[in-house]
Amino acid sequence: MERADRLLELVAELRGAAPEPLQAAELAERLGVSERTVRRDLELLAGGGLPLRAGPGGGQVLVEPPRPVVGEAESLTGPVRATLEEAVRSRRAVRLVYTGRSGTRTLRDVDAHGLVTAPYGEYLVGWCRTREGPRNFRVDRIGAAYLAGRGSDVRELEELLAALRVPLPRGPSAPQRRRGPDGRDAGAARTWTLERAEGVRSRLREAAAEVLDGRGGAAELRVVAGHLAEWTRWQAAAVRAAATDAEPVLEGRRPPFPRGFGRATTYAERERMIQDAMAPRSLRDVLGDLQQVLEGLAHWAAGCDDALWAGDLPDPRPYGPPGGPRPLADLLAGPRGPLGHVEWHLDRLAGDAEDGCGVRAVGRCPLRP
């Protein structure tokens, strides 16, 4: 390991352990070097401004008073967020020690483009040179960071956000923001979900405009929109009922279904009935129905109680018992939620997915058990 990377790992270890002290022997074991090397590195970092103090038994404790970051040396010894802010401001590349969800720690070289707020944390958005693609990194999982000695390539932040499905943040709707027992920010969760809802509706309008302008694909869009209208209607109603402990409210202009529809026991049987019921409608009517369902979902999400966003709720499933508790934002906009479900099908209509497109994807819908 190069010395610069070892210093970065050393800072990450100290920061992760704070306010508990770490002994040189333990640091040496974690980094795979000698105690002498660790002591020499600590002296170098302390001389460069890393705020260390002696702990019990001769261990080292990292304390982080606020201080500006203006150059490479200061970035290594300064607070992580200050380093990220400087990287974004000056369009610099930044090297990170990042711990993923699995607990694996990696070194990443990232062209920093923005800091955005999502439901449960703050993220650095950028182009990961290590993985050669757009990525987001939770700030609280970045153990250490320093500014690389080169400028980052210019890329549009909006394009990166679109690729990552991370919305641009809006300000809170109220001055007081409720937080759950784990620190979850209810205002940020609501804002993120409403951004996703508007993004989905915008994508749907664009897909419809292309077809209605005569560019083809009307039959395919009709099948997918009919599928989405009814399943999204059911999903939105089920999440609302789980959140409020009330009877389901079905939005939109639901077509008449045969008497046995409510007793359909398989996905394939229910989907066949949905397509039969949607068949007499025009494409505009089916799309209008789906847009009304999405508008109703967004209206409810904008006005429901803050407490719903700060806790977890049961996960209603199309088949079988409810799933484990999940945050409301995840229930609405996560991969299996109504907004994520619509996006999944729109990606395949646009040809952005490798596993099929359009009508064929209805048979492989993520809601199918």
For the segment 326-351, the average pLDDT, to the nearest whole number, is 85
pLDDT of residue 65 exceeding 70, the answer is no
Shared-domain flag, residues 115 and 219: no
Looking at the chain, the whole-number percentage of residues with pLDDT higher than 70 is: 79
Shared-domain flag, residues 330 and 194: yes
Dihedral sign, Cα of residue 255, residue 257, residue 262, residue 265: negative
- Residue given tokens 């407490």 in the structure block: 307
What is the pLDDT at residue 187?
Answer: 80
Shared-domain flag, residues 250 and 110: no
Q: Give residue 115's identity as a one-letter amino acid code.
A: L
What is the pLDDT at residue 357?
Answer: 52
Shared-domain flag, residues 145 and 283: no
246 vs 183, which has greater pLDDT?
246
- Residue at 367 is within a domain: no
What domain range is 346 assigned to? 186-362
Contact 21, 57 (CB under 8 A): yes
How many Cα atoms within 13 Å fall on the side-chain side of residue 290? Answer: 34
Strands (DSSP E) found in 92-209? 92-99, 105-118, 121-128, 133-138, 142-151
Shared-domain flag, residues 246 and 319: yes
- Residue at 49 is within a domain: yes
> The domain that contains 43 carries what CATH number?
1.10.10.10
Shared-domain flag, residues 198 and 151: no
What is the pLDDT at residue 179?
Answer: 42
Tally of domains within the chain: 3
Of 21, 44, 62, the position where a domain reaches its end is: 62
pLDDT class for 165, splitting at 50, 70, 90? low
Shared-domain flag, residues 49 and 115: no
DSSP helix/strand/coil, 51 = coil
pLDDT class for 89, splitting at 50, 70, 90? confident
pLDDT class for 67, splitting at 50, 70, 90? low
Pairing of strands 60-62, 52-54: antiparallel
Distance CA 228, CA 208 (A): 14
- Residue at 17 is within a domain: yes
Of 12, 31, 62, the position where a domain reaches its end is: 62
For the segment 27-51, the average pLDDT, to the nearest whole number, is 81
pLDDT of residue 112 exceeding 80, the answer is yes
- Residue at 169 is within a domain: no
Shared-domain flag, residues 124 and 248: no
Shared-domain flag, residues 254 and 121: no
The crossing angle, in degrees rounded to 10, of helices 338-349 and 283-303 is 140
Distance between alpha carbon 352 and the CA centroid of its chain, in Å? 19
User: In sequence order, which ranges of the chain are alpha helices (DSSP H)?
Assistant: 3-17, 24-31, 35-47, 72-77, 80-90, 157-164, 186-210, 218-244, 267-278, 283-303, 306-310, 328-333, 338-349, 358-362
Distance CA 365, CA 227 (A): 10
Shared-domain flag, residues 111 and 250: no
Nearest-CA neighbor of 192 among 76, 80, 337?
A: 337
Shared-domain flag, residues 77 and 49: no
Shared-domain flag, residues 254 and 352: yes
Of 102, 130, 164, the position where a domain reaches its end is: 164
> The domain that contains 250 carries what CATH number?
1.20.120
